[in-house]
Amino acid sequence: MSCVACTPAFRKGLARSPGIGSVKEFPMLNRVVVEFDPSRTSEEQVRAEISRVADRAGFRGKVIFSGRDGR
């Protein structure tokens, strides 16, 4: 995700999903950080939702999960 103008649409699309907490975009790094509540949704559901929103918005990319500490 490298378009600064496109990131709000991506954030809004994810924010509507149950269990998604925060969505932070870093367009210059082509990254998005999504925090979610595992008691309300699963990693698989988050991964699918990210892919759905990205496809709908025309973004290409790969979903990479990391631990809570960002590693």
Domains of the chain, residue spans: 7-57
Instruction: Encode pLDDT of 4-51 as tens digits.
Output: 666 777 788 888 888 998 888 887 777 788 889 999 999 889 888 888
Strand partners, 23: 34
User: For the CA atoms of 58, 51, 25, 38, what is the dihedral angle to 10 degrees?
Assistant: 160
C-alpha 28: how far from its chain's center? 16
Query: Does residue 70 register a pLDDT over 60?
Result: no
Measured distance CA(45)–CA(51) in Å, rounded: 10
Contacts (Cβ under 8 Å, ≥6 apart) of 40: 18, 19
Judge whether 39 and 25 are in contact, CB under 8 Å: no
